[in-house]
Every structure is written in C-alpha cells, then in structure tokens.
Amino acid sequence: MKLKWFVFWAVGILLILPNFLGEHLCKDKLLKRSNVSTELQSDVLLPCDFDPALLGSNKTADIAVQWRQINTTSHGLLEISLQGEAMFWNNKERRIKHFPKLSESGNFSLLLQKVQPYDLSLYTCELFNGTSSIGCQEIELQSQRHVIIVETHDKNSVSQVILSDRGNQSLENPIYDTPCWTESNYCEERKEEGISSDTPVYATVRKGKKVNQT
C-alpha cells in the first residue's frame, strides 16, 4: 500500500514540475532568444538589452529586470532596478557583475566570471513594471567546442574537421578515438592545440550530416 502511494506521489511531482518551471520561462512575453558559447573558466557576457521605449520617460519608475537560471529547477539570481541598483539572491560566489550605469538605457546585461560546468544552462531576464511583466529574453549558455583540421599522409584519405573535448563534460555524436602518431602532422596539430595524445576526438555533426573537407 505504501509503495502504491509513493508511486502516485512521484508521478504527481513529475506532472507538477514542468508547470512550475514553465512559470519562469518567457512564454508569450518572449522578445529575444540568444545562444552564447564560452569556454569553462573564462568570463562571458550574458546579454539583456531592452528597447528604451519599454522603459518610459520616468527615470524613477518602479521598473526592474529579474535574472533567473533554469536547469532542473528555477533559481533567482538577482534583480536590477532602472536606477542600476542590484539585489542579489545568488551571486554565484561573487562571479556575477552588472553594469549600473547602463540600466537607464535598457541594458541589463551581466558578466559571468570563471564559468563552471553548472553555469551552462538557460537564463531568463524579465522586465517588470511594478509586478507586471512587460518583456522577457532567454539566453542559452553553452560550452564552446574547438574545431581543428587533421591532415593525413594517405593520399586516398580526406582531411577531416574534428572536434576536441577540452574540458567539456558531455559530447554529442562521438565517432572515434584516434591515437596520436609521433611522426605525423596530426600529432603536431594536437600538440599545438594543447591536446594530449590520449584525448578523444569527435567528428563534427551538424543537422545529421558529418562535416568533412577534402
């Protein structure tokens, strides 16, 4: 009996959770969606720029932007007022910086420093007038992948565009793991890229097609 009730409870949570997360996505208020790529441990700008017409002419109005991070749950990060004042709920170990002097012009962008794997997700910046939402933007932060050209000595082979991991925790479309031959240009290419001989490489696949160059 207890197991039956547990199953009902778990199913109920799974049904409710998407609706809960949906409350913090832009939905019909979506004005812009951006895809941003970055390397781990680097600094990246998360853009959020609204048309000044949405802000009105009253510089003392109760207008503010709320930033949230969406992954398995929704996390409030901070609120930036039209006057440039910030109220943080989560400053990510002081790695989030805002630009107070730009808020009046509609620019509520953030600088995220020393990007960590758990930073890679969807972000929303939503513009409020009081408690009424008047616009929203979504920013997808992804890990940047590095493309290098592999030259082969075999005349019957083609040069391939391949993809190195370089710290990415998960890779799509794994194709093969190629060793580094000590007397080949390929080995030198990998050394120049800072890739060790035992690092797996992956063929780049876009829209279901393998990217090759002859």
- pLDDT band of residue 101 (cuts 50, 70, 90) is very high
Give the domain extent around 90: 24-143
| Cα–Cα dist 90/14, whole Å | 26
Q: What is the pLDDT of residue 72?
A: 79
**Nearest Cα to Cα of residue 204 among 151, 148, 154:** 148
Task: Give me the mean pLDDT over the 125-140 stretch.
Answer: 96
Q: What is the CATH number of the domain that holds 52?
A: 2.60.40.10
Question: Each residue of 54-100: pLDDT tens digit?
Answer: 998 998 899 999 999 998 788 999 999 999 999 999 999 999 999 99
DSSP 82-95: TTS-EEES--TTTT
Question: Each residue of 152-173: pLDDT tens digit?
Answer: 555 555 555 555 544 443 333 3
Query: Whole-angstrom distance between the N-terminal and C-terminal Cα of the chain?
Result: 65
The reply to whether 18 falls in a domain is no
**Based on the domain organization, do 73 and 138 belong to the same domain?**
yes
**Based on the domain organization, do 126 and 203 belong to the same domain?**
no
| Cα–Cα dist 125/120, whole Å | 16
Last residue of a domain, one of 97, 117, 143: 143
| Cα–Cα dist 145/177, whole Å | 17
**Based on the domain organization, do 173 and 85 belong to the same domain?**
no
